[in-house]
Chain A
């Protein structure tokens, strides 16, 4: 994989619990180029949020065992000290969370929270910080921003709160923005407003955006590249066209086939992926997806049950973690 603006190399995160070691992320690698949007797609427990938290340095080192490299513009974030990461966070990189209500402090006016975000990283007067806060709110489409800046979070609707979160994340013009399920808690009509806003803002600012979601529709709306995660691993990576129109991994194929859609003919029955997601304490042998895979018997020698497949290129820039990708008929298969 080419060196990007942000590259994650062989990231591993595990948590020790009473039931055993939870391998939340187990060898995740991908990269994002400057100014592009990468979507990390996966179901609950696939490791997508933990990956984001590891990039942002939000995992407690006493609880999580982190291994690998997260390189942002040449700096290995995992090698930095806590206070060095803290200086980057909110400045060069920022994050938007799923639930805006629990991410805003209920006792402080949104303006004060925005001013704090500015003054933590920039040496500006309170007055100027407040002006930046109002400007930030205006940019995310909050009407009467100069009045709204003095509201408390509970006075705003869910959509407006999420706009405030976006304003706060963007206030110091970060080079990297990670949005973890930014629209999941919102209604569809509001979701449409927020995705449109994020796409517009990204065009204006050129921020590199990583969006984490389980909604394949939102991904289709926003992303340039897609990274599909399953059982703590990246199982497919490619351009949005590669992943949506030529999915190589049976999990991706199953995911796309199982979603009820509005745009195509309705069939009487859906075609679900059988079974349940794997336990991260006790991962299946071989390919983590094999217990649910309909094509596991197509690979000779029972490899799917015994040998863990590598993330390999199936075509230029399109990677898949599947033994089927090693089929001799596939041209140009090579290790990454």
Chain B
């Protein structure tokens, strides 16, 4: 893909929140490095999954791209236009091209507005007159996202969680944006409803060619929707690759641990699986560890990791990893990729979860209860 196709380009994005002392004359006593040098890009009609645990900075990244949070540094280019450092007023064209879907469908909708008014808000704010008028456009949108257009005068409280998320989706696609940032759009929903919303997002992408930055903690959901995946840890992206690469041949130890920690709904496979249980918790972004930020919980960390931060490097075919000692392909079983062909299942990706993880040998059940993880993480 050439750079011209890029709908979103983020370079070295940083969001630091100052921590101030209490008292009459507060001083800045530290910086929370919520996002600490994130670079990513997104092509037209593509979905990038941004995955990480809570506090890793994935949501802040999404908000900083849309300037809902002011970035400390970095460049954000949406659809060829550099929006870095612009004022609120100058940002208005950005909002037409880039929209957001929020996690909590209960708080993201104004309870005093009718659904019609909520979905029409983008037209009002951007002073856009859709062909056929706003009323018709709203009805079309409701129909498109699977809501009954006759309910246009109802209020959000009259809808279930899944239906409210559909309202949020309708509002986000109203202006046919090029980019939608989806911040955990399905994690507040029941399992049976999650699948409905994921399918809806995929259908809309097919119809409108919209690109998604899909922020989530659920690796299984991301595997379903994303074409490429970026794994984030403590304000940094530690690995980026295509979906097939990430799920069948993860290189970063953190990605390994994440994948092996996801419980799978198959009791027999679940008991046979060997899992990497990381010790400790996420370190504080106020005082990130020296060297590689993951070294305090890493099961392959060596002396070098404690002092020298690894750079992002390309391991071939666009598979990038920031690790001094990426896990080699042969350790996790060599996987030959088949083409991503429509409805057929891809057993390749599942290899990692059956026998191949045992090939990790020493890594298999490594635990980190002891040593460096004990006190730092708490």
Q: In chain A, residues 264-295, which have Cβ atoms closer than 8 Å to a Cβ of chain B?
A: 264-274, 276-277, 292
B299 to chain A, nearest CB (A): 12
Chain B minimum-CB-distance residue to A155 = B378
Which of A144, A156, A159, A259 meets B191, CB within 8 Å?
A: A259
Which of A158, A215, A265, A267 meets B263, CB within 8 Å?
A: A215
Given contacts A188-B258, A272-B195, contact A214 B369 (CB under 8 A): no
B198 contacts partner chain A, Cβ-Cβ < 8 Å: yes
Which of A216, A223, A276 meets B163, CB within 8 Å?
A: A276
Residues of A within 8 A of B247 (CB): 262
Chain B minimum-CB-distance residue to A190 = B281
Q: How far is the CA of A110 from the CA of B267 in the complex (A)?
A: 35
Verify A191–B261 contact, CB threshold 8 A: yes
Verify A188–B195 contact, CB threshold 8 A: no
**Chain B interface bracket (under 10, 10 to 19, 20 to 34, 35 or more):** 35 or more
B53 contacts partner chain A, Cβ-Cβ < 8 Å: yes
Q: How far is the CA of A240 from the CA of B269 in the complex (A)?
A: 12
Q: How far is the CA of A148 from the CA of B378 in the complex (A)?
A: 10
A260 to chain B, nearest CB (A): 4
Chain B minimum-CB-distance residue to A159 = B281
A87 contacts partner chain B, Cβ-Cβ < 8 Å: no
Given contacts A43-B193, A265-B347, A270-B224, 9 further A-B contacts (CB under 8 A): A191-B263, A192-B278, A193-B277, A214-B190, A223-B267, A241-B268, A244-B265, A266-B345, A292-B192
Chain A minimum-CB-distance residue to B198 = A270
Q: How far is the CA of A190 from the CA of B221 in the complex (A)?
A: 19
Which of B343, B374, B377 meets A268, CB within 8 Å?
A: B343
Q: In chain B, residues 143-181, which have Cβ atoms closer than 8 Å to a Cβ of chain A?
A: 160-163
Given contacts A260-B198, A268-B343, contact A187 B217 (CB under 8 A): yes
Verify B266–A244 contact, CB threshold 8 A: yes
Complex interface: stretch among B10-18, B24-32, B33-41, B348-356: B348-356
Q: A211-233 toward B: CB 8 Å interface, digit per residue (1/0)?
A: 00011111111010000000000
Chain A minimum-CB-distance residue to B278 = A189
A258 contacts partner chain B, Cβ-Cβ < 8 Å: yes
Residues of A within 8 A of B194 (CB): 258-260, 272
Closest 8 CB pairs of A and B: A265-B345, A217-B263, A272-B195, A216-B265, A187-B53, A43-B190, A270-B195, A192-B261
Given contacts A157-B377, A262-B262, A272-B196, contact A217 B270 (CB under 8 A): yes
Please give the residue numbers on chain A whose beta carbons come within 8 Å of chain B beta carbons, in ascending order.
43-44, 141, 143-144, 148, 156-160, 187-193, 195-196, 214-221, 223, 240-241, 244, 254-256, 258-274, 276-277, 292
What number of A-B contacts does a CB cutoff of 8 Å give? 166
Residues of A within 8 A of B260 (CB): 192
Which of B199, B257, B264 meets A270, CB within 8 Å?
A: B199
Q: How far is the CA of A190 from the CA of B263 in the complex (A)?
A: 12
Given contacts A144-B374, A160-B378, contact A258 B281 (CB under 8 A): no
Q: How far is the CA of A117 from the CA of B350 in the complex (A)?
A: 46
Residues of B within 8 A of A258 (CB): 191-192, 194-195
A113 to chain B, nearest CB (A): 18
Verify A277–B160 contact, CB threshold 8 A: yes
Verify A219–B192 contact, CB threshold 8 A: no
Q: How far is the CA of A2 from the CA of B247 in the complex (A)?
A: 44
Which of A196, A262, A277 meets B353, CB within 8 Å?
A: A262
Verify B195–A263 contact, CB threshold 8 A: no
Verify B345–A189 contact, CB threshold 8 A: no
Chain A minimum-CB-distance residue to B222 = A260
Q: How far is the CA of A276 from the CA of B147 in the complex (A)?
A: 12
Residues of A within 8 A of B53 (CB): 187-190
Q: How far is the CA of A164 from the CA of B43 in the complex (A)?
A: 46
